[in-house]
Amino acid sequence: MLVVRRLSGALALLLAVSVLGANVTTAAAADIRFEGHGWGHGVGLSQYGAKAMGADGATYDQILHRYFTEISLVPLSSTERGSFLATETMPFWVGLLQDQSGVVFTVSVESAQLCFDDTDTCVATAAPGETWRFGYDAPERCYFQRATGLGDYARIGPAGSCDASVRPTTALTSLFLPRKARSYRDGILRFRWSSTPSRFHVIFQSGVGSYLRGVSAAPDTWSDASLRAQAVTVRSLAAWHAKDQGQVQHLDENRRPDCHCNLYDHNPDPVFRGATGEEAHPNWVAAVNATASEVMRTGDGLALGMYSSSSGGVTENYSDVFGPSTFTHLRSIVDSPAFSISANNPHTAWASSYDQSVIAAAYGLSWVSNLTVLGRNYSGSAATVQITGIRNGRPVVVAISAVDLRLTLSLRSTSFDILTIPRFEDVSTEHVFAGEVMGLVELGITQGCSTDRFCPNESVTRGQMAAFLTRALDLDSPTNTDSFDDDDGSIFENDIEALYAAGITRGCTINSFCPSLAVSRGEMAAFLVRAFDLSGPGGDPFTDDDGSYFEPEIGVLEAAGVSSGCAPNQYCPDGLVTRGEMAAFLIRALAAA
């Protein structure tokens, strides 16, 4: 039970980190430091690059042709001739809220009709300044309520289908949704059933132009050319995503119950702020209007527009970030404008530090001893990252994608270098026992042989071994006892007494413990088997321990997975145990117990 107490503490630490989230940075012990450039996925338009080019006199089409290869700029209707994107006046269904039991809205300007869409019946007209609520009445039945001014609502009209709408009576009608803290106009507020019982989705149906005006994807202080380039990129992105999801009547069986929308108002789609965003960004609105319905087109048709704040110096190939594709226009290009004086780019360089426990918890390890970039993309960004650490008491090496690591840790980009800071000067991150030493430190079993050294190659004395085991097992030292004559004055005397009281040792002779003697590998086997109550078939896996006093314990140690020997078929029972080896023995024993 003493061992379980120690392991439970370690497990609790890992669970606590998991609950806090993988993006937590521990200031007290930063083991791993990332130093990078840029912000975002790095594919397509670099926003700060576009800013610089516009400020330096480039036109918006010059900006677009720099960041997107082999494109032409055309009206949406010409590239999507016959598509719902071209034939419908309001093809975008933008998901605002999902799985709601009720939603409150206020008619801020003009009026709106409150209707049930399945019967195309309007039951009331909401006047300017009135606040209303739409909510569930019974399974598959919903109703409209008007605020009474007394903090309550009064039902208006009969209940009907939960497929309903708030329809503007004029183009100026404005609706305010408190849950979103935003106003919406030039579209229809829709309600549609959810797969969650007694819940519905809230959607805003909008035209392409009205939607674009509410996005405002770049600061209004940027040049007109920069804003126009951004507007065309966002229009191409939104149109491509909506086309990919399809006309709302033909949404697939997953998308319909998820949101009943072909665009969300947030990531992975552009952030849609409605009339609230439109009113705050007049220059953006002017750029949207100036580019009319312009989109990018490739030889395959409508081009997917993509953008991020800033690359790390070279934009990314789409396939290096999101996987195989046929997007020939989304290729790596040199993004020097983003790092020019005109860009005034705040993401030119960044740094972020993490405790190893954050990364260990995120990827199912006990401890992480090293993190390195294993491979890089054409752009120079990290493609694959190698994690070295301990899992189930044994060293492991795990390769992960840099994109996954960026999302897990909320790193700004994948254009980074990694510096792993060792806990001790004499235990490098590549040391064979680096992970096990890290584990001992994290468990509070040792703080090294001095402030900044672990002395991994020094032999472990019996006194030191007593301290290691006492801390690993959380043993209490008895008081007023002195079982051995030769440990008086030893800094390990209390640990030795604790080990004796627990029945783990009887000393090296009747009244002696020999605290200064080095521990052999055979003796260590006996100590560990007794301390951790290890058991197993105890066969004869090694050829060099025949006749050894510790042969039974050595067999149990191998069967428990704590040791596989010093060489094939060899255990080296008379060899001395180093502090590095002691770390490995203890970590494996803790995992096996």
pLDDT reading at 104 higher than 80: yes
For 516-532, what is each residue's pLDDT tens digit?
999 999 999 999 999 99
Q: For the chain, state the CA radius of gyration.
A: 33
**Average pLDDT, stretch 544-554?**
92
pLDDT bucket at 480, cuts 50 / 70 / 90: confident
**Average pLDDT, stretch 178-188?**
97
pLDDT reading at 13 higher than 90: no
209 with 203: CB under 8 angstroms?
Answer: no
Percent of the chain scoring above 70 in pLDDT: 95
CA distance 562 to 436: 13
What is the pLDDT at residue 6?
A: 41
**Average pLDDT, stretch 66-73?**
98
CA proximity to 513, closest of 532, 499, 528, 529? 499
For 431-468, what is each residue's pLDDT tens digit?
999 999 999 999 999 999 998 999 999 999 999 999 99
**Average pLDDT, stretch 244-260?**
88
**Average pLDDT, stretch 269-285?**
97
DSSP 553-589: HHHHHHHTTS---SBTTB--TTSBPBHHHHHHHHHHH
What is the pLDDT at residue 535?
A: 84
Its sign, for the CA torsion 585, 588, 591, 592, is negative
What is the pLDDT at residue 30?
A: 66
CA distance 175 to 128: 10
CA distance 252 to 561: 51
Region of 383 (left: φ > 0; alpha: ψ -120 to 50; beta: rest) is: alpha
pLDDT reading at 593 higher than 60: yes
What is the pLDDT at residue 252?
A: 83
What is the pLDDT at residue 533?
A: 92
What is the pLDDT at residue 14?
A: 34
* Assigned token pair, 179: 């849950």
CA distance 179 to 198: 19
Within 8 A by CB and 6+ apart from 89, the residues are 207
- Which residues face 94 on adjacent strands? 204, 263
Average pLDDT over all residues of the chain: 92
pLDDT bucket at 26, cuts 50 / 70 / 90: very low
pLDDT bucket at 29, cuts 50 / 70 / 90: low
What is the pLDDT at residue 23?
A: 36
For 200-220, what is each residue's pLDDT tens digit?
999 999 999 999 999 999 999
